[in-house]
Amino acid sequence: MVKVAIAGAAGELGREILDGIVERQKHEIIALVRRDPSLLPPLQGVTWTQTSYQSGSELVQLLKGVDTLLCVFAVHRDPGNATQRCSLMLQLKQGLDIMHLLSGQHAHLDLTPWNEGKVEIRHYLEQVNKEKKVLEYSCFQVGILMDYLGHPHRVSKYLTTMPMTVDIEKCHALVLSGSLTDKITFTAAATSEKSLPALSNLIQIGERVRGTPFTVESLQQEDVESGELKTDNFFRVPFPEIPEDQVESFSKLATISVMLGAKHGLWTVTDEWNEILPDHEFTQVEDFLREIWGSRG
């Protein structure tokens, strides 16, 4: 039995991962949280553990005997990456063999400002191992969460979803001119999509599932790169932490980032996990959409 620690275990993504590990009943889990553990539900094999992540000596004690640390921090809420850096330095001091960091790995992550912390942490890790292998780590990049294609329906227990530039509910696609062959990787929960559907394929899948043609609206890349969205049909970000007076501007930024990210391959991920798990049945986009939308028309 492997002893796993999850930093940020009470967050939306953290809870999805935590429940997935609990379901398999194969690991002992230390769930690190900032909130009062008494407010969290008892789970088999899970020890809810409160920490501020600020004390190295405290973390040393909390992570004794841990084999793998999963960091699932919301990096935009971690100024200067102080919390992640503290956790990383602890791993170096303790000499743990494996440390998995849920973070980004693509060169174009700078297109998404909310991922700046992930880029910085990856560069930091590269420097740690520059002279010799000091720390074994994994930086996971999931592409786009498949759950978003089910919006506004609740398809996962904890994740807040939002519509995408290919909006299955509205049967509408917002694309860059000439981008229909761009490919995107989708990840549902913890299982990735084996084939990488091009935008055109995703639109065709949506049309088959919804039983109606989609309206495809094209924007010029040079306009989008200059920060202009010459349409009102961009998605609105529903996250409650965004102040109401900033929703419009942030939603435009998010839409631009998603569109340019697709153009530059930000959402296209390599298939190492598919190769490592050749017998696993990965969730396919069309199967996912039929399950969510098939009975809803």
DSSP string, 72-126: ---GGGSGGGHHHHHHHHHHHHHT-SEEEE-----GGGGGSGGGHHHHHHHHHHH
Q: Hey, how many other C-beta atoms are within 10 angstroms of the C-beta on 248?
A: 12
Give the span between the Cα atoms of 235 and 261, in whole angstroms.
Answer: 15
Judge whether 2 and 68 are in contact, CB under 8 Å. yes
pLDDT band per the 50, 70, 90 thresholds, residue 76:
low
Which pLDDT band, with edges at 50, 70 and 90, does 231 fall under? Answer: very high
Instruction: Classify domain 144-293 at the CATH superfamily level.
Output: UDP-galactose 4-epimerase, domain 1 (3.90.25.10)
At 295 the pLDDT is 64
CATH number of 2-139: 3.40.50.720
Per-residue model confidence (pLDDT) at position 63: 83
Provide the pLDDT for residue 46. Answer: 96
210-221 burial by CB neighbour count: b if 16+ within 10 A, else e? Answer: beeebeeeebee
For the chain, give the mean pLDDT.
82
**Please, which pLDDT band fits residue 98 given cuts at 50, 70 and 90?**
very low
User: With contact defined as beta carbons under 8 Å apart, do 206 and 186 qualify?
Assistant: no
For helices 285-293 and 199-210, what crossing angle results, to 10°? 30
d(CA 134, CA 210): 51
Dump pLDDT digits (tens) for 261-295: 888 888 887 777 778 878 888 888 999 999 888 76
The number of beta carbons lying within 10 Å of the beta carbon of residue 2 is 12
User: Where in the chain are the domains?
Assistant: 2-139, 144-293
Angle 93-99-109 from CA coordinates, rounded to 5°: 115
Q: Which of 35-39, 70-74, 262-266 has the highest mean pLDDT?
A: 35-39
For the chain, what percent of residues have pLDDT higher than 90? Answer: 34
pLDDT at 134 over 70: yes
pLDDT band at 33 (very low <50, low <70, confident <90, very high): very high
Q: Is the pLDDT of residue 133 over 70?
A: yes
pLDDT attached to residue 296: 62
Question: Does residue 165 have a pLDDT over 70?
Answer: yes
238-247 pLDDT, tens digit per residue, is 877 788 888 8
214-243 mean pLDDT: 91
What residues does 29 pair with on adjacent strands?
A: 4, 46
pLDDT band at 198 (very low <50, low <70, confident <90, very high): confident
The pLDDT of residue 106: 54
Tokens representing 23?
């379901």
Q: What does pTM read for this prediction?
A: 0.81
% of the chain surpassing 70 pLDDT: 82
Does residue 77 or residue 230 have the better pLDDT?
230
